[in-house]
Structure 1
Amino acid sequence: MGQDSILFDCRKGKTPSMHIVKSWFWPGLITIVCLTTLAGWFLAEPMDRQLTETVAAALEADNSWASIEVDGRDLTLKGVAPSEEALASALKIADTTDGIRVVENAATLLPLVDPFSFVVTKSDQGILLSGNVPYGDMRAKLLAAAENAMPGIEILDEMAVARGAPQGFADLANFALQQASQLISGEVRLAGETYSITGTAANAADYEAVTNALKTQLPGNGRVGAVKLAPPSAGNAG
């Protein structure tokens, strides 16, 4: 009877061994797929972290403006680049890093200002620095120079970081701060390399010093624009 039963099953294309295969095949396959997926998740995070650390270290020296996001082997570059050269450099570093497959550029450039302006305004309320300042440590240097030129006077910083500073900007801006210190009140303005000054000199010696300096070649290839400088009043003539 047992043999008949086995033969009967064989005629239907079914054997006890096939029943056994079916009983473990599908649950086993599902388990393998799940474990493979979990392994991918657990391995992806260390890979992301390692690539992020590698690229971040490479960018740190000259491209501190840049930030990155890594998803698997795909990298997205973010941040505001101070120049086209800086952006190209950061993209090259990311693209040539071993393990990175795709680099997406989501970074932007600082606004380009033409003419690049810098304004020193002196009044009873203090000193206002406005206009533009290049990316980097130039802001700190100008603030320090203003404090040295006009100690004890409140300094307000409203400078905006931008591209487009002319060659020699730092020298011309420092010259502007020095001349502003020789005014009772007024404004010194840079528009590109054009230098303009309006206001009232603090005393006769400062009036003469400012006007004489404007007759010579200005620092940073500056050229004289509008000059509306008034001599000191009688009370400040000395």
Structure 2
Amino acid sequence: MSILNRWVIPGVVAVCAVTAITLFSETSKVEADLTQRAEALLKDKGMDWAEISFSGRDGTLKGVEPEENEAKWAIELLDLEWGVRKVVDETDDLKTQSPYSWGLVREDDQVSVIGYLPYSLTKSLPAEIDEKIPGVTISTQVEAARGAPSNIETVVHFSADLLSRLKRAKAFLLDDTLTITGTLEDGNADDIAQFEAVEEMIAATELNGITLDFQIARPKDPEDMVQAEDSEVDGFEVSRSADGVAMVGRMPSEDIRQTIIDLANRKFGAGSVSANLVVREGEKIANLGYDEYRRAALAILQAVSRLSEGAASLTADGLELNGGAFYEGALAEVREGLNEALPAGVTLNADLSVAAPGESVDAQECQTLLRNTLEKNTILFESGMATISSDSFGLLDNLVYTASRCTDNRIQIEGHTDSDGDDATNQALSERRAGAVVDYLVTAGIAADRLEATGFGEAQPVASNDTPEGKAKNRRIEFVIQAQ
């Protein structure tokens, strides 16, 4: 027994320990070899979303499966690899997005990609843009998601081709509708040629089930351009319609003229305003002095900005104003604002009403209307604050009117900032600004339980933060219809 205890048992223990160490070492080598070969195989097949690990010869596949059956195909490949016994699927499904939206925006040498795309396109699109539009700076804020139209690749390739020809344009896909907006200069031969090339491209492209909404007008030929003449209006006239805002009249100084134009662009959006304002330095216009005329003109712009359609005419006889406000509360505020802002010598004759309610629309149409409104203009705030600028009251009234047409849908109000300042400050500011917009909508009559305020801080830019123009685009509020 003493020999057994002294020699045999310790010898057996030693042999077992050596064997265990050897087996562990060999198993680790097998696992490392299998992992290395499996990762190389998946990478070679373009499945960089997949994560593979081994315990012995048994594998576990993890990651977010971008498309249905991707994990199944990955496992079938791995099962054929020498040395693999079995692979267990522990992958998660990529989320399905509804409504499905994606956008491509170009401003000269700046290109932004926003929204959602299938996983494969999130990887390949930047290189495609770089090839088709060489020299541009690309900002990508796009998420991989399922739910895209079946021919999404055709839509994306077509949009990239289109924006390679248009220097200031946006392609936006919402489910099965692709909307193209942009600006071209009247009388510009290059822009006219661009438009004609785009027309040919559209005629030659079949989008298969996607409705194309092309909203860019053909630029006027040089011979059709009409030069502005001195206005016969001894005063200031503003008219607003579905086609935009037209201002005609005389201004007592260049300073006031430029102030009026700048303010109109802030209130209505730069692409919506035409101005034929002639400076008559030192003259009394509409029987008003310099400061009185300035006050009256500013009050008129604010009032018209809150009307869906209407017109204002300031002359020596007073102010004639007609039109429809977007809702009852806005109408009361327009009247009150004019009474407070107009100079004492200006007689007001106002024929105002509340615009007729719009027809009910479904979620997709509502999203399109909201997006188109915010593409034309931006909700403005006091610098560094969550106080909404009065210049944006009219824009918000328009959004209230649209939101009242889709009462069955919830709306997420998203706040975004530029990259100035620290992350925490920007996150808090974006949340407060989104909350301020929700408060405005609720006060205007939109049910609070339909609205949700969310802030994203600086995390989702749509343009480069390296330029003032890019920063201005990133400081924004977005309205997103929530899936039911």
Same fold judged by TM-score > 0.5? Answer: yes
Shift of the 73–180 alpha-carbon distance from structure 1 to 2, 3 Å rule, reads closer
- State the partner residue of 1:49: 32
1:36 to 9, 16, 19: 19
2:101 to 107, 110, 117: 117
- State the partner residue of 2:130: 144
- State the partner residue of 1:21: 4
Aligned alpha-carbon RMSD (Å):
3.6
1:204–1:237 CA contact under 8 A, matched in 2:
no
CA distance in 1, matches of 2:3, 2:167: 101
- State the partner residue of 2:206: 219
Report the more deviating stretch, 226-235 or 57-66.
226-235
2:159 to 176, 191, 196: 176
Shift of the 23–73 alpha-carbon distance from structure 1 to 2, 3 Å rule, reads same
Shift of the 20–154 alpha-carbon distance from structure 1 to 2, 3 Å rule, reads closer
CA distance in 2, matches of 1:226, 1:22: 91
CA distance in 1, matches of 2:210, 2:217: 20
CA distance in 2, matches of 1:140, 1:51: 33
CA distance in 1, matches of 2:160, 2:97: 21
Give the aligned residue type for 2:184. Answer: A
Give the aligned residue type for 1:67. Answer: E
Of structures 1 and 2, the one with the larger relative CO (CA 8 A, separation 6+) is 1
CA distance in 1, matches of 2:157, 2:28: 50
Counting only pairs closer than 5 Å after superposition, residues 128-167 of structure 1 correspond to structure 2 as: 128-136=112-120, 138-144=124-130, 146-147=132-133, 152-167=135-150
SS at match of 1:111: coil
CA distance in 1, matches of 2:163, 2:40: 43
1:197 to 169, 177, 180: 180
How many Å apart are 1:48 and its aligned residue?
1.6
CA distance in 1, matches of 2:97, 2:172: 15
How many Å apart are 1:88 and its aligned residue?
0.5
CA distance in 2, matches of 1:121, 1:236: 31
Give the share of equivalent positions with the same residue, in percent. Answer: 27
- State the partner residue of 1:6: none
Counting only pairs closer than 5 Å after superposition, residues 42-121 of structure 1 correspond to structure 2 as: 42-65=25-48, 66-97=50-81, 99-121=83-105
2:97–2:145 CA contact under 8 A, matched in 1:
yes
CA distance in 1, matches of 2:157, 2:223: 25
SS at match of 2:97: coil
Shift of the 226–217 alpha-carbon distance from structure 1 to 2, 3 Å rule, reads same
Shift of the 50–122 alpha-carbon distance from structure 1 to 2, 3 Å rule, reads closer
SS at match of 1:35: helix
SS at match of 1:190: strand
1:198–1:227 CA contact under 8 A, matched in 2:
yes
1:112–1:162 CA contact under 8 A, matched in 2:
yes
Shift of the 186–237 alpha-carbon distance from structure 1 to 2, 3 Å rule, reads farther
Shift of the 222–143 alpha-carbon distance from structure 1 to 2, 3 Å rule, reads farther
CA distance in 2, matches of 1:24, 1:152: 79
How many residues get paired?
217
2:126–2:138 CA contact under 8 A, matched in 1:
no
Shift of the 218–76 alpha-carbon distance from structure 1 to 2, 3 Å rule, reads same
SS at match of 1:84: coil
CA distance in 1, matches of 2:200, 2:160: 16
- State the partner residue of 1:10: none
Shift of the 21–64 alpha-carbon distance from structure 1 to 2, 3 Å rule, reads same
Give the aligned residue type for 1:224. Answer: T
Shift of the 141–57 alpha-carbon distance from structure 1 to 2, 3 Å rule, reads closer
CA distance in 2, matches of 1:114, 1:196: 18
Offset from partner CA, 1:91-145 (integer Å, 9 cap, x none): 2233454544453323334333345433122336733222233333531453135
Give the aligned residue type for 2:11. Answer: G
Larger Rg: 1
Give the aligned residue type for 1:59. Answer: L
1:193–1:221 CA contact under 8 A, matched in 2:
no
SS at match of 1:120: strand
CA distance in 2, matches of 1:51, 1:78: 16
How many Å apart are 1:40 and its aligned residue?
1.9
CA distance in 1, matches of 2:172, 2:86: 46
CA distance in 1, matches of 2:171, 2:132: 13
2:111–2:138 CA contact under 8 A, matched in 1:
yes
2:109–2:135 CA contact under 8 A, matched in 1:
no
Report the more deviating stretch, 57-66 or 71-80.
57-66
Shift of the 189–164 alpha-carbon distance from structure 1 to 2, 3 Å rule, reads same
Shift of the 161–228 alpha-carbon distance from structure 1 to 2, 3 Å rule, reads same
CA distance in 2, matches of 1:173, 1:236: 37
CA distance in 2, matches of 1:236, 1:52: 70
Offset from partner CA, 1:184-216 (integer Å, 9 cap, x none): 6442212244211223234445456656766x5
Return 5+ residue gaps in structure 2 as ranges.
Answer: 186-190, 226-484
Shift of the 232–49 alpha-carbon distance from structure 1 to 2, 3 Å rule, reads same
